[in-house]
Amino acid sequence: MDLATVIGIVLSFGLVVSAILSGSSLIIFISVPSFLIVIGGTLGAAMVNYPMGYVIGVIGVIKNTFFSNLESPVNIIEQFKDYANRARREGILSLEPLIKEIDDEYMRKGLQLTVDGLEPQTIQEILETEVSYLSERHATGADVVAVLGTLAPAMGMIGTVVGLVQMLQTMSDPSSIGPAMAVALLTTLYGAILSNLVFNPMAGKLKARSKEETLLREMIMEGILSISKGENPRIIEEKLNSFLPPKDRVSSD
C-alpha cells in the first residue's frame, strides 16, 4: 500500500470537507444532476478519445497508485551477488534450480535466457524490448488518467452553462433559480475536485512509478548481462550500486 497516495487523498478531501462543514451542511453540496454531467461526460468523452479497453483498464491503472509491488533495489543487488558467486563456483547451470523460486517475471526470464546459453547481445536485445514496451504501456495508462483530469473540469464548465441556461429560462419563477444555480456551480466544483485532487495527481504518481520500475528493470538487465559475461561479483555489485543514490548503496563485506 502506497501511504503517500492514501494520506494525500484523505488529507485533501478531509480539508475540503472540513471547510464546507465549518460554514454549512454537506448535503447542499450534493447534486445528482451535477454528478451525472461530470462523471458521465468525462467517461463518455474518454471513450471517444481512447478505445474501450483503455478506458475500462483505467481502473487497474489507478489501482497501481495505491499498491506498489516493486522489489527493493538493495534486495536485487544482494540476489545478484549470490547468483554471481554461485555461477563462478559451480557454473552458470547451477542457477537453473533457483529460477523457479524467483517471483519477478522479468528477472526470471533474463536468467533463463542466460542459463540457456544465449549470447549477451541477444539477451540484451530481448530485455530492452521488454523494457521499451513496459514503458509504453505505463505511459498510455498515465495518459488516459491525465486525459480524465483534463476532461473533468471541461465537463464542469458544460454543466455550469446548462445550469445558467436553465436559470435564465425560469427567471419568472424565483423558486427554480436556486436549483438551477446549484447545478451550475456544483458541476464546476465537482470537475475541479476530480481533476486537481484525483486524476492529475494520480497521473503524476503513475509517471513517477513508471520511471522507478523502468530503472529497476535496467538494473536487473545489467545484472543479468554481467552474469552472462562471467564478470566478477564485486564488479557486478559496483555496477548495480551505480543505479542507486550514494546513501542507499550496498557496501561490500
- For the stretch 5-43, pLDDT in tens is 889 999 999 999 998 888 878 888 888 888 899 999 999
User: 16 to each of 74, 150, 217, how far by Cα in Å?
Assistant: 40, 21, 39
Instruction: Give 134-167 pLDDT, tens digit per residue.
Output: 888 889 999 999 999 999 999 999 988 888 887 7
Residues 35 and 95 in one domain: yes
State the amino acid at position 108 in one-letter form: R
**pLDDT band at residue 124 under the 50/70/90 scheme:** very high
d(CA 222, CA 229): 11
Say whether both 25 and 47 belong to one domain.
no
Residues 94 and 153 in one domain: yes
Q: Is residue 5 domain-shared with residue 36, that is, in the same domain?
A: no
pLDDT of 103-119, one tens digit each? Answer: 889 999 999 999 998 99
Evaluate if residue 127 carries a pLDDT over 90: yes
Average pLDDT (40-69) is 87
Q: Which residue has the higher pLDDT, 171 or 233?
A: 233
> Grid coordinates standing for 1?
500500500
| Domain co-membership, 124 together with 4 | no
What percentage of the chain reaches a pLDDT higher than 90?
39
Closest CA to 35 of 186, 158, 169, 178: 186
Q: One-letter amino acid identity for 140?
A: T
Based on the structure, what is the number of domains in the chain? Answer: 2
Separation of alpha carbons 80 and 220, rounded Å: 9
- Same-domain status, 53 and 92: yes
Say yes or no: 87 and 112 in one domain: yes
Pick from 147, 135, 231: nearest CA to 195? 147
pLDDT of residue 12: 92
Amino acid occupying residue 159: G
- Does 86 have pLDDT greater than 70? yes
pLDDT band at 252, cuts 50/70/90? Answer: low
Global pTM exceeds 0.75:
yes
DSSP 8-state secondary structure symbol assigned to residue 136: H
Mean pLDDT of the chain: 88
User: How many whole angstroms separate alpha carbon 195 and alpha carbon 198?
Assistant: 6
Stronger pLDDT, 44 or 59, i.e. the higher one: 44
Residue numbers of the domain that contains 108:
31-253
Alpha helix (H) residue ranges in 3-119: 3-21, 32-49, 52-56, 58-63, 73-90, 96-99, 105-115
Do 194 and 136 sit in the same domain of this protein? yes
Looking at the fold, whether 24 and 35 belong to one and the same domain comes out as no
Does 196 lie in the same domain as 158? yes
- Please report the pLDDT score of residue 184 as a whole number: 80
Verify that 173 and 190 share a domain, yes or no.
Answer: yes
Shared-domain flag, residues 15 and 125: no
